[in-house]
Amino acid sequence: MSTSTAPVADSDAVGWRFDNTYARLPESLFVPSKPAVVREPRMAVLNFPLAEELGLNLAALASDAAAALFAGQALPSGSFPIAQAYAGHQYGGFTMLGDGRAILLGEHRTPSGQLVDIQFKGSGRTQFSRRGDGRAALGPMLREYIISEAMAALGIPTTRSLAVVTTGEPVYRTVPQRGAILTRVAASHIRVGTFEYAARRDETTLKTLADYAIERHYAELSDSPQKYREFFRAVTERQAALVARWLCVGFIHGVMNTDNVAISGETIDYGPCAFMNAYDPATVYSSIDHGGRYAYGNQPHIMQWNLARLAETLLPLFDSDPDQSVAFAKEVLMEFPARFEKHWLAGMRSKLGLTTEQPDDLDLVTSLLDGMQKTQADFTRTFRSLSREQPDDVCPDGAAELAAWTARWHERLQREGQSLAAVRTRMRKVNPAVIPRNHRVEEALSAAEERDDLSPLHRLVDVLSSPFDERPEFAEYEEPPADESGYHTFCGT
């Protein structure tokens, strides 16, 4: 495969500060891989606010130089591109995987001193591509750009999207589509599946990976005498908090395989993801999730299952006595439901404007959700309505049956001695007015793919960048679709 290795012109002016710490790990964890040559790279989207956070001056690059950079045609000084090896349980079945269409350039050091991965997605074949082409289509890359940036604006830990370029070449799925490459920024790309891969190599590789992950993401544990045990507890805690945040905004990941669970606690991989409209725990959008394994309400259980797979890999590090290792792993895994419920209930209290904990809070929340499911109330609009000045406008979708619940909620607030005005002001800071409504995302993607018109996407990203603000000029973005029956999302592979 022909590749380009020349540094980007003016790359020093951009401000890249690359290190390659992952590439100094055992060679079994990666293979050197360079982006494929593409015919005609052209910029589609550049995330200037994120670039500024990263300490990068993208304005120093002309458009063609930026396109060459983010298409991998000219590599930044100091980068050392590799494809990472990992495994994964996909829909419950174990598979050896690896970066089949992604290449890690290395880690960029931000002005705050943090290391972040810079990765190309869709940049051609690697040793792990199997029979795939290693390419990506424009639609799925723009979907990840939209959703990941929306999640960041919602305050949910997530990978970010720095750029999307088109390649000038088709990719072939069910029909030919425009090729594209996404530049993803992540705390790291170490996954549960990375540990599954390392554990099947040898214990030395596993221990080296664990030490690296601890130093990079849980440095406070580095000197702990039981650091591997504490590492597993800490990962479990972050994942419990993350899934709770997903549920509090109606997010459905869609493909919670173990290779899509980042050790850092960030949301990673926006394939068949979507946001729920009418509240129903059984909601599934992914076209390939026929059994509802990754349905909205199943996500906490699946995360616990995924963490069990992580625990299996770490057993040799927990204790020299296998029985003690298993007992510890079971103890932590059994704590997960309570950890999740603590974070979820705290999030729901915040969404309802509650500032204290009361014994009947769980029942108060579940009673509201049961009523919403019965009336097919829109998840986002219902909570936003509660934060507005019209106390009777609880649910615009026929919420007369929720009147008794509303009275109960008001009584609960009165016991806290809070005024409704103060409560609603606080609630508007946590209940978004806008989310990436599925039909709005599809409109933006269709315009970009079919008409090469990115204006709907830019408008949508602008709206989603301030999800808690009510802007009258963007009121239509608050509305759910008239009919979403039959809507499906798809993986981009």
The catalytic residue positions are: 259
Q: Which phi and psi (to 5°) does residue 304 adopt?
A: -60, -40
Using CA atoms, how far apart are residues 38 and 220, in angstroms rounded to an integer?
Answer: 43
The burial class, CB within 10 Å (0-12 / 13-18 / 19+), for 440 is: buried
List the structure tokens of 326: 């298993």
Which neighbouring-strand residues pair with 46? 163
Using CA atoms, how far apart are residues 229 and 323, in angstroms rounded to an integer?
Answer: 14
Using CA atoms, how far apart are residues 128 and 134, in angstroms rounded to an integer?
Answer: 9
Q: What is residue 29's DSSP assignment?
A: G
Judged by DSSP in three states, 18 sits in strand
Contact 372, 279 (CB under 8 A): yes
Return the CA Rg of the chain: 23
Residue with tokens 């509305």: 479
Using CA atoms, how far apart are residues 483 and 476, in angstroms rounded to an integer?
Answer: 15
- Torsion, Cα 359 156 253 473, to 10 degrees, reads 100
Q: What is residue 3's DSSP assignment?
A: B
Residue with tokens 């909205």: 296
